[in-house]
């Protein structure tokens, strides 16, 4: 193949297409300016609803599978092991918050009207709400498999879930990893801890200490809320430094 033929083939291959309807585009912009019309924008509620479709399918599937697994294991082994699985739910939520950074979309999102903060808050809210409601439904379903009262099953499920959420979000706030490996490890460690805890601290699961679990629940719920608030308030600045 001679050089000229090669050059002409490269030219054809590397040809970049012409812009189309450029005049119409600018005419459209002019018309909008003449009538002083800004594009109509979404409300925060509409934004929240549309973010639902941008959370990956496998994230929802993972949450669903985990909840189903908790039901199955509660049915087969209604000991303390089902309680140790709830920290894994928090991983699903925390990993979703890293997505913008992992795929380098954070800068785009930050400069947009709804900003990075809104995007992450929306994802946290949607996944957090769905997972928590899902877990509450699971608690109602699995309660008959346990010898504990409903309130105790609720506390034994929720405290590990909130503990892992709190520790994971503290880690993410301080280290801001792209892959979310730290929070995943924390969730797995929390899960392992709550799996072996009954063997070493069996008295923890006695009825007289339910008040202690209730206090832990309140403390963890407050800690998660407080940490998320700090995280969201200081999200942008450290990301770029």
Partner 1 sequence: MELTADRITKQYKNKIAVDRMSFALTKGVTGLLGANGAGKTTLMRILCGILVPDSGTVTCDGMDVETEEYREILGYLPQEFGYYPEFTGRDFLLYMSAVKGLRKPDADQKTAELIELVGLKDAARKKVRTYSGGMKQRLGIAQALLNDPQILIMDEPTAGLDPQERIRFRNLIADIGKNRIVLLSTHIVSDLEHIADGLMIMKEGRLLWQGAWNADEGDLEEFYISKIGDNQ
| Residues in CB range of 70: below 8 A, 6 or more apart | 82, 85, 86, 135, 138, 142
Q: Which stretch binds partner 1 (CB under 8 A): 28-36, 63-71, 182-190, 196-204?
A: 28-36
Residue 25 lies near partner 1 (rule: CB under 8 A) = yes
| Residues in CB range of 158: below 8 A, 6 or more apart | 86, 135, 217
Shortest Cβ 98–partner 1 spacing (Å): 12
Residue 73 token pair? 């294991």
Q: How far apart are CA 64 and CA 227, in angstroms?
A: 26
Q: What is the largest CA-CA distance in the chain?
A: 90
Q: How far apart are CA 130 and CA 92, in angstroms?
A: 12
Residue 46 lies near partner 1 (rule: CB under 8 A) = yes
- Whichever of 55 and 157 has its CB closer to partner 1, that residue is 55
Residue 20 lies near partner 1 (rule: CB under 8 A) = yes
Q: Which stretch binds partner 1 (CB under 8 A): 2-10, 41-49, 60-68, 221-229?
A: 41-49
- Nearest to 155, CA basis, from 215, 70, 237: 215
What is the footprint of partner 1 within residues 82-111 (CB under 8 A)?
99, 103-105, 107-111
In the set 4, 5, 12, 22, which binds partner 1 (CB under 8 A)? 22
Residue 196 token pair? 């072996």
Shortest Cβ 175–partner 1 spacing (Å): 18
Shortest Cβ 148–partner 1 spacing (Å): 42
Q: How far apart are CA 141 and CA 71, in angstroms?
A: 7
Q: Which residues bind partner 1 (CB under 8 A)?
A: 14-22, 24-26, 28-29, 32-33, 38-42, 46-47, 50-51, 54, 56, 99, 103-105, 107-115, 119, 236-237, 240-241
């Amino acid at each position: 193949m001679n050089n000229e033929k090669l050059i002409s083939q490269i030219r054809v291959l590397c040809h970049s297409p012409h812009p189309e309807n450029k005049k119409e585009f600018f005419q459209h912009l002019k018309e909008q300016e003449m009538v002083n019309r800004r594009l109509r924008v979404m409300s925060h509620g509409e934004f929240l609803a549309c973010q639902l479709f941008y959370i990956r399918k496998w994230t929802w599937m993972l949450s669903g599978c985990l909840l189903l697994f908790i039901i199955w294991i509660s049915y087969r082994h209604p000991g303390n092991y089902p309680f140790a699985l709830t920290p894994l739910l928090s991983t699903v939520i925390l990993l979703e918050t890293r997505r913008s950074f992992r795929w380098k979309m954070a800068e785009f999102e930050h400069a947009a009207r709804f900003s990075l903060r809104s995007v992450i808050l929306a994802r946290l809210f949607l996944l957090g709400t769905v997972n928590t409601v899902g877990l509450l439904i699971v608690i109602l379903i699995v309660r008959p498999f346990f010898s504990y009262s409903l309130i105790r099953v609720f506390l034994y499920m929720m405290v590990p879930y909130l503990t892992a959420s709190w520790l994971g979000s503290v880690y993410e706030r301080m280290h801001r990893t792209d892959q979310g490996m730290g929070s995943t490890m924390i969730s797995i460690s929390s899960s392992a801890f709550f799996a072996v805890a009954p063997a070493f601290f069996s008295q923890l699961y006695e009825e007289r200490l339910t008040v202690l679990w209730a206090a832990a629940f309140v403390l963890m719920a407050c800690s998660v809320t407080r940490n998320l608030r700090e995280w969201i308030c200081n999200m942008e600045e450290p990301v770029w430094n």
